[in-house]
A and B are shown apart, each in its own frame.
Chain A
Amino acid sequence: MSNAREDKLMKRVFLGPAVILLLALSIFPLLWSLGISFTDMQRGGSTIARQAAAEGITEGVGFLGLGFELTGRNYERLLGDGRLHSTVRNTVFYVFFGVMIQYVIGLGLATVLNQPFRGRNIVRVIFLMPMMMTPVAAAYTGRMFFDSNPLRSPLAHFFRQFSKAIGLEQAISIPWFTDTGWAPVAILIIDAWQWIPFMTLILLAGMQAIPDDIYEAARVDGANALQIFMRVTLPILLPISMTVILIRGLEIFKIIDVVVVTTGGGPGSATESLTLYIFEQALSNGNYGYASAIAYILLVLVIIFSTLFLMAGRRLARGRVS
């Protein structure tokens, strides 16, 4: 076989499996669920199919005889669904504050790890540990700590001892999982504990890639440590920062396991995330059509978030150059 022909074949052989896999398991489901979102499909048949079955009709029911009807009702229903609105609010809350906390602390820790000190390599490895923990397990551990009973939780116990030590009459006691205001914060903290290492790791790699002479030059010009950090380190880290913030932001959009294990979405729906709500609509209620419509809203939110973010990033980068 000639080289050119062989190459043409090999080209397809190498990329083929990945493309086929993604077409079959990603693009096809994506289009399919867009279709489903415009039907009244439910587990065990749509409303219209069930009605027809009750009347003894089994064939030729619904759109093209497929057994469901085409409808835009799912999208109308979105507008009036109060629970959906609160889950959107919660998800945006997790993403916005989660990313912020994780970035700020991650950046701080990366700065610390970028300093030379004895035992740094071991410390760096220790800092990574939470990232590898099963999120479900991290959530259970979080539940033990955010239990507000000081007889069970070391954290509540610490608060009680601390209040005693500074002479408060009423011990500080935070109703972590029972209060609608605190419960999302507890989830935020658990997710942050787990994913700050990710931020630290990548920002540290970015800092270590900055050549020493840039710092030397700044020092020669008389800049102090804070000025160097603000004017040299941060701007150089901007592209990486945008990347990690985007990655973490998109990941937090998917949050479900921590919520399921800690609060199950409660109290009320104060901590329920969009993914959890979609899961419940689809699998607990069997509303396939409606669940798909909500999932598409989530997709649109994710796309808007990423686009705005990338645009802002580009503008920031341009401002830095000029």
Chain B
Amino acid sequence: MNRARNEKPILRRSSRRPLWQSAMLYAIVIFWCFIVLFPFYWLATTSLKRPIDVSRGPRYIPYHDFQPIPDHWQEMFGTQRESTVRHFRNSLISAAGSTVLSLVIGAMAGYGLSRFRYYWGRLGWDNDNIAFWIISQRFLPPAIFIVPFVLLYNTFQLIDTYGGLILAYTMFNVPFAVWIMRDFFNGLPIDLEESARVDGANRWQAFLRIVLPLSAPGLVAVAIFSFIFAWNEYLFALMLSNFNAITMPVLIAGQNNTRGIEWWFISALTLMAVVPVIIIGLLLERFITRGLTAGAVKG
């Protein structure tokens, strides 16, 4: 929608813009692209450098001032293969698991809050209050959960399990999922469900067969956010895992003390953790924008 509106005035406006303004615009754009991209470039080149080129550098351009070597990547998938694969799998399982759970729970609650009227008599809360309560949980400082979660997880033997991480991440992701989905359902016309119900479908069937397929963009947005949050999360992964369930961020952060800082290896590992998420994110960029602006722009 935004894109369509902005396409029209492009020619008109840019032809009206003085040259110096265009020059400044491009200068800022290029400068900021450099600020954003150079760290990624540096990670990529560092992962291909010999240790001596890292400590006696800085070397910028492969083949020109240093000879790139694949050794660190080979190490990561060779001698370190077991560790790399295990941690990557842990990240994948806990992120995917909590994404699925958040989607299910979030879509259901979002739909409920959008289509039914709730009133919690004792608190005097209606739908808006409940929605606000749910989203407010997302902004509680996680530090307050450290002690109770450690005690709770010890009691239920959830420490160092996928189930434990999935549960914790779902708790953090659900509020945002409810918020986005509610906003999305509010924008869906109710007629379609109603005609389905006239045709004999019950609420649940109408939700599954009519509403959910129509809300794919909202679901994709929720899925991306939940996945990226869980994939990148550090504090709870560190706190609730000690060997079996350790995820990529904890593995990367731990490179500090194990063998001294091997920048070349850390860079390879970092790219391994970061690149898949960035590719997914960039491919689905329009859903991210839509999801993020769902609550913020209107509210």
Contact = CB atoms under 8 A, between A and B. Distances in A.
A288 B152 CA distance: 13
B22 A279 contact: no
A144 interface: yes
A129 B280 CA distance: 11
Nearest to A279: B146
B139 A17 contact: no
Contacts of A298: 141, 143-144
A253 B141 contact: yes
A82 B112 CA distance: 49
A25 B31 CA distance: 45
Interface in A243-293: 243-244, 247, 250, 253-254, 256-257, 260-261, 274-275, 278-279, 282-283, 288, 291-292
A155 B129 CA distance: 49
B10 A116 contact: yes
B215 interface: no
Contacts of A288: 147, 151
B58 A157 contact: yes
Nearest to B116: A11
A226 interface: no
Interface stretch (B65-73, B77-85, B163-171): B163-171
A123 interface: yes
Contacts of A55: none
B108 interface: yes
Contacts of B167: 25
Given A137-B252, A254-B142, A130 B273 contact: no
A125 interface: yes
A62 interface: no
A187 interface: no
Interface stretch (A30-38, A167-175, A312-320): A30-38
A17 B252 contact: no
B196 interface: no
A45 interface: no
B37 interface: yes
Interface stretch (A46-54, A96-104, A176-184, A206-214): A206-214
A243 to B, nearest CB: 5
B249 interface: yes
A192 to B, nearest CB: 10
B33 A141 contact: no
Interface string B278-299: 1001100100110011011101
A220 B289 CA distance: 33
A130 B36 contact: yes
Given A117-B25, A128-B282, A154-B58, A261 B232 contact: no
Nearest to B127: A15
Interface string B57-101: 110100000000000000000000000000000000000000000
A141 B39 contact: yes
Contacts of A25: 167-168, 171
Nearest to A32: B148
A208 B2 contact: yes
A26 B137 contact: yes
Sorting the interface of chain B by its residue count into under 10, 10 to 19, 20 to 34 or 35 or more gives 35 or more
Nearest to B277: A132
Contact of B171 (A22, A131, A202): A22
A18 interface: yes
Contact of B270 (A126, A137, A208, A212): A137
Nearest to A306: B139
A136 interface: yes
Contacts of A36: 147-148
B106 to A, nearest CB: 7
B35 interface: yes
A129 B275 CA distance: 10
A137 B273 contact: yes
Contacts of B204: 10, 13
Contacts of A152: 54-55, 57-58
B141 A15 contact: no
Contact of B297 (A109, A205, A253, A299): A205
B26 interface: yes
A278 B143 contact: yes
Contact of A7 (B203, B207, B263, B295): B203
B35 to A, nearest CB: 7
A193 interface: yes
A134 B266 contact: no
A136 B235 contact: no
A243 B296 contact: yes
28 contacts: A13-B108, A14-B111, A22-B171, A25-B168, A26-B145, A26-B171, A36-B147, A112-B28, A117-B29, A126-B37, A129-B281, A133-B274, A134-B270, A137-B274, A138-B39, A140-B255, A140-B270, A205-B2, A212-B9, A243-B295, A247-B296, A254-B143, A257-B234, A257-B253, A275-B143, A279-B239, A282-B150, A302-B139
Given A127-B33, A193-B36, 17 more contacts: A11-B116, A17-B108, A18-B105, A19-B109, A33-B144, A136-B252, A141-B39, A154-B38, A202-B296, A243-B295, A256-B235, A257-B253, A275-B141, A279-B146, A282-B146, A295-B143, A295-B144
Nearest 5 interchain pairs by C-beta:
A14-B112, A29-B148, A18-B109, A15-B112, A116-B10
Interface of B: 2-3, 5-6, 9-10, 13-14, 17, 22, 25-26, 28-29, 32-33, 35-40, 42-43, 46, 54-58, 60, 104-106, 108-109, 111-113, 116, 118, 130, 134, 137, 139-152, 167-168, 170-171, 174-175, 178, 202-204, 207, 228, 231-232, 234-235, 239, 248-249, 252-253, 255-256, 263, 266-267, 270, 273-274, 277-278, 281-282, 285, 288-289, 292-293, 295-297, 299
